[in-house]
Amino acid sequence: MTPAARSRLVLATAGVFLLVACSDGEATTPRGEATFSPPPPAPASSTAAAPGGIDLSKPQAIVSGLETPWGLAFLPDGSALVSERDSGDILRVPAGGGDPQRVHRVEGVDAGGEGGLLGIAVDPGYEQNKFVYAYYTASGDNRIIRFQLGQGRPRVILDGIDKARIHNGGRIAFGPDGFLYVGTGDAGNGSESQDRADLNGKILRITRDGTAAPGNPRAGSPVWSMGHRNVQGLAWGPDRKMYGIEFGQNTWDEVNVIEPGKNYGWPEAEGKQGDDRYADPIVQWSTDEASPSGAAVAGRTLYVAGLRGERLWTVPLGGGEPRAALNGDYGRLRTVAVAPDGALWVTTSNRDGRGDPRDGDDRILRFAAR
C-alpha cells in the first residue's frame, strides 16, 4: 500500500474508531469490490433455520487483497470483522462488501507457522457491552482476549494453551447457550489430547470472563470434549446439535458430533474405528480431499471449507452423501460463516505460505441464500 493510500485508509476510519499506525508490507492489491444491497439483517434465531440452503452457483467476490484472513464474525448491523493472521489486524467489512477498514490491531501477536491472530467472535450482547473476543498466538502461548474495538488494553480471559508452529487450533464461537466454545490443537504433542488436565487437543466451553462454564463435564474445568488433534471448525445445527471439524494426520479428516465429556480418540484413533472408548466421526475425508477448517450451518446443510482440498464440502444433516463444490476454483478455503441476511461468506487462504496466490488474493466470497 502506498503512503498516500495508507493515509486515506487511516483518515477514512479515524472519525469512527481509534486506530494505530499501519505496518509495512500491507496488501498491494485493492481490497474493495463491487457492492450489493443486502436486505435488512434477519433475526439470528431465524438465520440458522432458514429453509432452502445456499445458492453456490453464483459466487460474488466482495473483498479482495486480504493478507491471510483467518477469523470472520458478524456485527449486529450485518458488517463483518475479519482477522488477518500475520499482521494482527482486525478489519471491518461493510454488510454490502467493498473496501474494508482496519478497526483494531491486536498487539503482541507472534505469527509464525500456523500461529498468529486466529479466531474472532462477537459477544451475543454486543449491542450492550461492545465485547469482541480473539484467539491468538503470543510469545509464550496461545490465549484468548476480550476487548472493545479500538479501545484500550484488552483483558486476557484465558491463557496457557500451548503453542507450536503447527496445530494451534484457534476457532472460537458462541454457542446457542451463550457460552464461548474454543477449539484447540495438540501443538504437535498428541499425548496432550488425552490429558484431561491439559487445555490442548480439546474443545473448551467458557464464560465471557474465561472461567469454566457451568454444566461442564467436570466442575471447574473448561474442557467440554477431548481427544482432538486440531479443531478449526465449530458449528451448530437448528436443533442445537454441535459439530466439530478437525484435521487428521495422514489418513482421515473428520466431522464429529460433539457431546460433552466424549473422547474423540486422537492420537489413539483417526477416523472411524468402531472402538467403544472413542466417538467415531459422522463424516470422514482423506486428507488431500479436505484439510477442513471453517464450518457453518445454513438450513439443514453443514458447509465445510477445505484448505488442501481447495473445495467447499456440503454435508446434508438430514442424511445423504456429502458433495463438493468450488473444486479448485478459488484455491484454499479457510473460513465459512452465515451472515445475518442468511448469505454464506467464505474466505480464501492462498497467502498463508502453503497456497498459490492468484490475482486478488486473498478474498471473501459471498453466496446468497435461496
Q: What is the CATH number of domain 30-367?
A: 2.120.10.30
Q: What is the pLDDT of residues 23-76, one digit of tens each?
A: 333 333 456 665 666 555 544 433 333 334 899 999 999 999 999 999 999 999
Kindly tell me if the per-residue pLDDT of 193 is higher than 50: yes
List, for residues 295-344, the tens digit of each pLDDT value.
999 999 999 999 999 999 999 998 899 999 999 999 999 999 999 999 99
**Three-state secondary structure readout of the chain:** CCHHHHHHHHHHHHCCCCCCCCCCCCCCCCCECCCCCCCCCCCHHHHCCCCCCECCCCCEEEECCCCCEEEEEECCCCCEEEEECCCCEEEEECCCCCCCEEEEECCCCCCECCECEEEEEECCCHHHHCCEEEEEECCCCEEEEEEECCEEEEEEEEEEECCCCCCCCCCEEECCCCCEEEECECCCCHHHHHCCCCCCCEEEEECCCCCECCCCCCCCCCEEEECCCEEEEEEECCCCCEEEEECCCCCEEEEEEECCCCECCCCCCCCCCCCCCCCCCCEEEECCCCCEEEEEEECCEEEEEECCCCCEEEEECCCCCCEEECCCCCCCEEEEEECCCCCEEEEECCCCCCCCCCCCCCCEEEECEC
pLDDT the model gives residue 147: 98
> pLDDT for 147-192, tens place per residue?
999 998 999 999 999 999 999 999 999 999 999 999 999 999 999 9
> Confidence class of residue 260 from pLDDT cuts 50, 70 and 90?
very high
Q: What are the residues facing 297 on neighbouring strands? A: 302
**213 — pLDDT class (breaks 50, 70, 90):** very high
pLDDT of residue 191: 97
Place of cell 484488552: 154
How do the domains of the chain map onto residue ranges?
30-367
Q: What is the pLDDT of residue 13?
A: 34
What average pLDDT does the structure give for the chain?
A: 89
